[in-house]
Structure 1
Amino acid sequence: MRFRKSLGAPVDEENPYWMSFSDIMSALLVIFILASVILMLQLMEIQQELKERQVQFEQEIVELKKAEEVRRTILDEAVEALRKRGIKVEVSENHTVLSIPNDLLGFDTGAYDIHPAYQARALEIGKVISEVISRDDRVDFLDTIFIEGHTDNRPLQGFMGKGNWGLSTFRAISLWQFWGEALPSEEQLSRLNNKDGNPLFSVSGYGETRPVLVQQVTEDDFKRNRRIDIRFTIRRPDSAQYEQVKERLEVAKP
């Protein structure tokens, strides 16, 4: 009996497969715990990233709204200041464009020079624009201010084959150059740069492609379309950008 008992194998040796299964289960449990910890850490990182993106999103919304408020304020103050000087200009419905009608500039058909009789008013407009833009840190919220020339829809020859397009551009250039010559050095618009260090003002021409009046029959109709628009663009152009920022946030979500 003693001999048989001494040779009796332990239970584990009699069941080698049980030993292996137990080890596998233990290993799987460890792997599961490690995977759970890694997953929790990843989820925490993702959650933190989303919080940071949410904060960034909210900051961008605030900056966009602030920029639009600054643009609206600039245009409102410019209109009021010019009104007090007896100069009536127009502002677009979305508060992005200050429109200077031909009555204030006196462009004849096919002409682009600022007529001497209108130069005093053109100078006042330049002074006011310089004044309202230069206040506080308003320039930091602006990207580009376009001086845009426009014509009526009557065909025009000349301008090296550029016709109305060339004429409208020459009108914008003419006003810009006049301001450069007539404004005092401390009020020069060319001294202003945007936040990226680029010149704030730019010049462009649209010919007859953006009329105030589509139907142009009378001489009055033609005059209304001969004008200069001052278009103010902010660093993030408009409220449509809100959705683009939001889309970027949605893409980042798991």
Structure 2
Amino acid sequence: MMSVSDIMSGLMFIFIITLAIFVIDFLIASREHEEKMQELTQILSRFEENNRMRGAMLTDIQDALAKRSIEVDIDAEHGVLRLNENAVRFTTGSADLRGEQLERLEVVAKVLAEILPCYGSNQPDNGKCLADTQGKIDSVFIEGHTDNVPIGGRLAKKYKDNWELSADRAMFTYREVTNSQPLLASMLNTNAQPVISVSGYGEGRPVPGHAHPYPKNDPINRRIDFRFIMTPPTVTEAQNAIEGNL
């Protein structure tokens, strides 16, 4: 028969082996967790870098337009360049620009054509672009907006509501901008898709401080916004990093 000391020695040996296996598994798990945390940190850093780059780009566009006597507003947090009523002014119920207002839009198009192509995936080799900016823009939405005066009278024959009017303003702007500067229409993102598209919001997104409870002919809301979306990390990268930390 085995002695008590032999039994205890055997149990101690099993305990030591089990503890060693646990320690090894813990070290491996800790290393894998640290690697996943590093991946997640890198992805978050890319988001922050995208926001920083977008803010710098918006500031460059704003400064370039200011030198040409066109004042625009920017919202760096949301990536918006706003053509307010002092930049380009739409008349009530109209989606078209003429004369001086059209000329000002053409200046906007020229500035965009000088800066934006450096952020597309088909970046031109003109010696003016930085390698770090290539492929950074995923989408640019030309967004049409209106004031909250309802469509009526003769305009009702052309537009059912402000939503249609805002979409028409966005499409008019897109056509004029790309006709003036065809390079903008040729910009592609990393998926080889056109960067620029249009959207209309009617009266639904007034400028902060200009949400009127009653119909008001407010030129600041009759506007075009350019909304810039930067290329995010891939879904696979983000999903793997997040799932590894759940």
TM-score by length of 1: 0.76
2:184 partner letter: L
Deviation at 1:252, TM superposition (A): 2.2
| 1:112-131 alignment, distance < 5 Å | 112-131=95-114
Identify the residue that residue 228 of structure 2 maps to in structure 1: 232
Q: Confirm or deny: 8 A CA contact 2:89 2:223 kept in the other structure.
A: no
Deviation at 1:139, TM superposition (A): 4.8
Deviation at 1:128, TM superposition (A): 0.9
TM-score by length of 2: 0.78
For the residue of structure 2 that corresponds to 1:195, the secondary structure is: coil
Deviation at 1:107, TM superposition (A): 2.0
- Cα 1:159/1:35, change in 2 over 3 Å: farther
| 1:12-31 alignment, distance < 5 Å | 16=1, 18=2, 24-31=7-14
Identify the residue that residue 138 of structure 1 maps to in structure 2: 133
CA distance in 2, matches of 1:100, 1:218: 22
The match for 2:168 among 167, 170, 184 is 170
CA distance in 1, matches of 2:7, 2:108: 85
Structure 1: which 5+ runs fail to align?
A: 1-15, 238-243
Deviation at 1:118, TM superposition (A): 2.1
Deviation at 1:56, TM superposition (A): 1.5
For the residue of structure 1 that corresponds to 2:135, the secondary structure is: helix
Q: Confirm or deny: 8 A CA contact 2:135 2:189 kept in the other structure.
A: yes
The match for 2:184 among 189, 193, 207 is 189
1:131 partner letter: E
Percent of paired sites with the same residue: 32
1:248 partner letter: I
Identify the structure with the greater helix proportion.
Answer: 1
For the residue of structure 2 that corresponds to 1:140, the secondary structure is: coil
State the aligned residue count.
224
Deviation at 1:216, TM superposition (A): 7.6
- Cα 1:172/1:161, change in 2 over 3 Å: closer
The match for 2:200 among 185, 194, 205 is 205
CA distance in 2, matches of 1:197, 1:35: 55
CA distance in 2, matches of 1:80, 1:95: 18
Instruction: Give the superposed CA RMSD.
Output: 3.0
